[in-house]
A and B are shown apart, each in its own frame.
Chain A
Amino acid sequence: MLDLSVRRRQGNFQLDVTLKAGPGITALFGPSGSGKTSLINMVAGLSRPDHGRIVVDDRVLFESQSGIDVPPEHRHLGYVFQEGRLFPHLSVKGNLTFGWQRMPAHQRSVQFADVVDVLGIGHLLKRHPAGLSGGEKSRVAIGRALLASPRILLMDEPLASLDAGRKAELLPFIVNLASQFAIPILYVSHAMDEVLGLADTLVLMENGRVIADGPVEEVVARPDLKDFSGHRDAGAVLRATVRHHDDDHGVTALGFSGGTLLVSRLDLGCGASVRLRIRSRDVSLALEPPRKLSIRNVLPVTVTSLSPSSNHMIDVKLDCGGTVLWSQITSLAQSHLGLTPGMQAYALLKAVTIAREDIADYRRAGIAPEAVADD
């Protein structure tokens, strides 16, 4: 549990943040230069706030008033740096055990074999960092921080230097960590993809301030933040529950407030919670219930508002049983259909993406391949 309130001036830049982060993964999201890294450097003790207080698990790490400033080596926080920062003169094993061996055995909450196993780095132990690929380096850096048995794991865009494939490979590892080792994670990112695939809580930062925080789905759905959270890319993000599986056709039915959605068979038990992402360009609109159609996911909706987007496109905001959906249509289609706010319509969902599986106990997760409905 992290509880902080800090202020710091760096040249013309003023950072002023109050934040609480609980269990699970909290994403600090914002454009570069919004102060995300500065903030976690303060938590780690690598830089000093001018004013404020930082508390982790009821232990005061910094308090300007009383002059408390615990040095980084006594804060017991794990830090996974953007560039990895592996020690070039030590082997992978030497890197992994660097913090671990400084911990008295009875204080170690994380076991060496477990970490090596979870991260799949057993075959690298004798190698040196220079001989590792980018993905391997990231995993070793994560393992090294974990093995110091931290109270919180701070991760500063640990995947930024990796290509999309390696990223998708590592995301599940990170989701695993938070639950398997019961360590809260503060994850800095400027990629919405990562946030949707990882985080439980989203903290939006801009110009050194927190402009919103809360559960990922709620923050992403807020219309006042849509430019900021990049909704055009994300579309609607919603939570759904696994209702039942149809093994004959290989589909899973998911329930949410607006009805039922069919996706490719998921390997999850009934009642498990998943995060879905429905891109606005994957949503078409019809004014009458379409018949004889290959698309299986058709939901009754109410048009809430229309706003022009670039390139003669219109963003249509829809209400689907209390859940917000977005559809992007051409202005030609708009004039043809004559859509106005308040109209009843049918949303045709061409694709539904599982952003994160099994949120309830985050045991298995990751960006699964697009689960396309049977069209």
Chain B
Amino acid sequence: MFSLTPLEIEALRLSLLVSGVAVAGSLPLGILCAWVLARRDFPGKVLVDGLIHLPLVLPPVVVGYFLLVVLGRRGPVGSLLLDWFGITLGFTWKGAAIASAVIAFPLMVRAIRLSLESVDRGLEQAARTLGCGPVRTFFTVTLPLVSPGLLTGTILGFARSLSEFGATITFVSNIPGETRTLPIALYALTQVPGGDAAAMRLCVISVAVAFIALLAAEILARRVQTRLRG
């Protein structure tokens, strides 16, 4: 029987928590950015587009270091957060969630944007002629039609968050019970003598979690597709 050690349970729980919060927290902003990029034209759009996609091409360590500088206790934003709201991000699981969210963000936005661009604008016009204002049209017509894209974006973001390592370890370090997610626990085990077997177990857990997530996504996507196609 494959039973998990307390260390593994803790790492798994943290990974799921951090990824879940990262995805759920960044989804509304992701939808907004995708919508702006898909539907609006404004000066500097290329710049915004580039900025959103930057984490995709930067080494995660760079992102992590940037977050540490800006959001750390002494950083310009981090010190304000601490003074005004008493929130500390550095070296906490919340910081880990932010690091994951930033890294996963471009993948999420990309998926939603592609889906938004393929929505038939005629259907939105039809909703308008039927008495629906723009906001209501967005929630009753556009959003349901992009649900496959939302699903893909969420799963991609979640999977990317699960595997997040570089930005996380740079920003929030490796603190047992707080920021030691699966990849970080795995890395730590490879650094100590005799940790090979435990590292292998973590590998298996990681693969299983990722696989289950993908499978669930596939099943959900099929359901959504059949609903949309009738």
Is A81 on the interface with B (CB-CB < 8 A)?
yes
Is A68 on the interface with B (CB-CB < 8 A)?
no
Which residue from B122, B123, B130, B145 sits with its C-beta under 8 Å from A102?
Answer: B130
Residue on B nearest A147 in the bound complex, by CB: B130
**With a CB–CB cut-off of 8 A, which chain A residues contact B122?**
81, 83, 85
In the assembled complex, how far is the CB of residue B213 from the closest CB belonging to chain A, in whole angstroms?
25
Which of A46, A71, A76, A89 has the most chain B CB atoms inside 10 A of its CB? A89
Is B125 on the interface with A (CB-CB < 8 A)?
yes
User: Interface readout for B151-189 with A: 1 if CB under 8 Å, 0 if not?
Assistant: 000000000000000000000000000000000000000
Range, interface on chain A: 20 to 34
A370, B188: Cα distance in complex, Å: 88
Interface of A, secondary structure class, is loop
Is A144 on the interface with B (CB-CB < 8 A)?
yes
In the assembled complex, how far is the CB of residue B175 from the closest CB belonging to chain A, in whole angstroms?
45
Task: Report whether B128 and A102 are in contact in the complex, using a CB–CB cutoff of 8 Å.
Answer: no
Task: Report whether B230 and A99 are in contact in the complex, using a CB–CB cutoff of 8 Å.
Answer: no
Task: Report whether B144 and A89 are in contact in the complex, using a CB–CB cutoff of 8 Å.
Answer: yes
**With a CB–CB cut-off of 8 A, which chain A residues contact B129?**
44-46, 72-73, 75, 77-79, 99, 145, 148
Which residue from B131, B132, B133, B227 sits with its C-beta under 8 Å from A89?
Answer: B227
Task: Report whether A46 and B128 are in contact in the complex, using a CB–CB cutoff of 8 Å.
Answer: yes
Task: Report whether A127 and B230 are in contact in the complex, using a CB–CB cutoff of 8 Å.
Answer: yes
Number of inter-chain CB pairs below 8 Å = 73
Task: Report whether B229 and A130 are in contact in the complex, using a CB–CB cutoff of 8 Å.
Answer: yes
Instruction: Enumerate B107-154 residues with CB–CB distance to A below 8 Å.
Output: 120, 122-123, 125-133, 140-141, 144-145, 147
Which residue from B125, B127, B133, B229 sits with its C-beta under 8 Å from A98?
Answer: B127
Q: A88-B228, A89-B227 are in contact. Are A102 and B131 (CB under 8 A)?
A: yes
In the assembled complex, how far is the CB of residue B84 from the closest CB belonging to chain A, in whole angstroms?
40
Residue on A nearest B126 in the bound complex, by CB: A85
**With a CB–CB cut-off of 8 A, which chain B residues contact A77?**
129
Interface residues of A (CB under 8 A from B): 44-46, 71-79, 81, 83, 85, 87-89, 98-99, 102-103, 127-131, 144-145, 148
- Of all A-B residue pairs in the complex, the 3 with the closest CB atoms, nearest first, are A130-B230, A99-B130, A128-B230
Interface residues of B (CB under 8 A from A): 120, 122-123, 125-133, 140-141, 144-145, 147, 227-230
